[in-house]
Chain A
Amino acid sequence: MRRAAAPLLAVTVALVLADSAVVTLALPDILRHLDTTVGEVAWVLISFNLVLGLCAVPVAVMFTRLRPRSFTAAGIAVFAASSAWCAVAPSIEVLIAARCVQALGGALALVGCLELLVAEYGERRGVAAWVTAGVIGTAAGPAAGGLLTGAFSWQAIFVVQVPFAVLAVPAALALHAVAAVAPDRHRPALRPNLTLALLSAALTAALFLLVLLLVEGWGHSPVTAALVVSVVPLAALAARPLARIFGPTPEVEVAVGCFLIAGGLAALALLPSSELAWTVAPQALVGLGLGLTVDRLTSQAMEMRFPRVEHAGWTIGARHVGVVVGLAILTPVFTADLQDAQVPAQEAIASLVLDAPLLPDNKIALAEALGRELTQQRGRIPDLHRAFVSADLDAGERLAAAELERDLDEQLERAATRAFRDSFLIGAALAVAALLTVIAPRRRTS
């Protein structure tokens, strides 16, 4: 058990941080299954990140005074139980409550795992293992969540976490760590934590908005979307070898990472079409930026600062409050833009239907069916296929109707892509703000 203990704790760290964004691709399914709204379903993400962000520092402070392994084990157990609760949640309110408890257990688990990994591997290797597991979890979360949702259901995301977390409970108890007595007490590293918060807000735009665009806007399945967004973690893996070729200073590396994320988000705002291939290069830029920044900034914020867990708590807090700020800024913007996109989309649909090469009676029947779909959309992108299925068309007109359906779907894709543009640009602006915190001159100290 002892040999597997540390890897199991690293997996737990990855799971908790993956949970920050793991449900992103499942949101459309949750929205349908729990019959809720876009605004409410966003709280499945917001609640977890908010609780984790706010609890990380107090939990870390508490840890400096308590027995790490008991509280780590308790935190992981709460995380496991609440993950199971999320899977069986019958309503959006229960799911959000379960996510809050899950985040509280996750906060205990995260800071506890850091202490136990350091106790097992030593300071440098232990912190590196903790940071790396977190970056992998953050980057791979959305893709893993999408694949599980596509293969099984949104509940599967939470179910698969339970056995890992259950196994991690005895693993935490198997390791010996004493409450760390800090040789000194340092103030939190403001600059790297602020950069982390701003970048996390920007990365929220990249991951949360892109998957919504792919699934809701362009009508792809969660599995397809998961495969598409896996470009981000793959590119993040390539970042470290790339940095080694040039060997830049850590500041240059972080600044370049921020610039790449800003560039990638600006590119996502300027997509030339809804072909998936166009999202690859922008995502690669974001992934490279993520790989160059998050682990480096986390290490900078914790390096030679004590108590270690407290500074780890500040990095967790900064990242997750950043995610919440990102969601708080972006959710109202893109929901309002999606609402505003309805009129141009409806006018484009009306234009194509009026000029469609169909017999007048069929045109009227189709227009009525399309009108029903458009009025039932409830702030979401309508499924026009149902209108074509329900319309009673002559066999001779099916070809023209199929062509019209393709054209109308393209108009919806155009409207959705346009609706997400401002949000991606805001994300790019957040990444530029993060860049400014890196390149801003430092205050001279005597």
Chain B
Amino acid sequence: MTGGWRMVGLPVLALVLVCGVLGVQVAHGGGEFEPLRPADPCVARTVTSQAGGLDGLTERLVLIGIDEAACTLGVSREALTLELAQPGPRTDEEIEALRGGLLSAVGRMQEDGSLPPASALVDEALDNADLDDFLKSVIRALPASVIDAAVKTDDVLVRAIDELDLRTLLANLDDQDDLDEQVNAAVTQAVKDSLLARLRDLF
């Protein structure tokens, strides 16, 4: 082996090996193997639910609502979710952003036609409602068109969101029964208010 080759042979091989390994790795995404970055909450995303009825509606409403609230607060949806999952007091800004987010979610779902008519939810809502059994039977006997004419889903949801004490609700996230009780009470009251308002409009 010549003197020149003795000097450069091994360095050239090392250079080829190192550049080759780094080149192949970078070409296959080396340096980009990082955790998923949270999406921009201000860009609307398609929200679906595996559940039907009230559960599915609630899930979609909450998912869109958190997106809207995170957008208002200037944080990611994930950061807000993790923050809300922690125990402790909520700021007025957070409560307002969340309420505003849920109300915006109702508007968005109404616009894209994904809000179900009231008649599709009435059976499930009556199961959870604290009403007299006779009254429940009467309501169940009503034709769907009558129910849909009397009760508008978006109106009930907006009233229920306004009715909800979000601060108390967020403080009791771990207690599922307490959570259900608060939401049912707010929804029942919202239905009553919505019906009264409709009656007032008729006269």
> Complex: how many Å from CA A281 to CA B14?
13
Contact A417 B33 (CB under 8 A): yes
Contact A411 B10 (CB under 8 A): no
Q: Is A252 part of the binding interface, using a Cβ–Cβ cutoff of 8 Å?
A: yes
Using Cβ atoms and an 8 Å threshold, which residues of chain B touch A357?
A: 48, 50
Q: Is A256 part of the binding interface, using a Cβ–Cβ cutoff of 8 Å?
A: yes
> Complex: how many Å from CA A351 to CA B39?
9
Cross-interface CB contact of A252 among B11, B22, B25, B33, cutoff 8 Å: B11
Contact B11 A270 (CB under 8 A): no
Chain A interface SS verdict (over half) = helix
Q: Residue-by-residue, is B152-180 near A (CB-CB < 8 Å gives 1, otherwise 0)?
A: 00000000000000000000001010000
Contact A270 B51 (CB under 8 A): no
> Complex: how many Å from CA A346 to CA B82?
8
Instruction: State the interface size on chain B (CB cutoff 8 A).
Output: 48
> Complex: how many Å from CA A260 to CA B11?
9
Contact A278 B25 (CB under 8 A): yes
Contact A256 B78 (CB under 8 A): no
**Contact sample, A vs B, 9 pairs, CB 8 Å cutoff:** A247-B1, A248-B9, A252-B10, A256-B11, A267-B21, A285-B18, A347-B78, A357-B48, A359-B51
Instruction: State the interface size on chain A (CB cutoff 8 A).
Output: 55
| Given A246-B13, A256-B10, CB of A266 within 8 Å of CB of B22 | yes
| Given A411-B35, A414-B34, A418-B35, CB of A350 within 8 Å of CB of B82 | yes
Contact B85 A347 (CB under 8 A): no
Q: Is B76 part of the binding interface, using a Cβ–Cβ cutoff of 8 Å?
A: yes
Q: Residue-by-residue, is A239-256 near B (CB-CB < 8 Å gives 1, otherwise 0)?
A: 000110111110011011
Q: Residue-by-residue, is A345-358 near B (CB-CB < 8 Å gives 1, otherwise 0)?
A: 11110111010011
List A residues at the B interface (Cβ < 8 Å).
Answer: 242-243, 245-249, 252-253, 255-256, 259-260, 262-264, 266-267, 269-274, 278, 281-282, 285, 288, 341, 344-348, 350-352, 354, 357-361, 363-364, 367-368, 371, 411, 414-415, 417-418, 421
CB-based nearest A residue for B20: A281
Contact B29 A249 (CB under 8 A): no
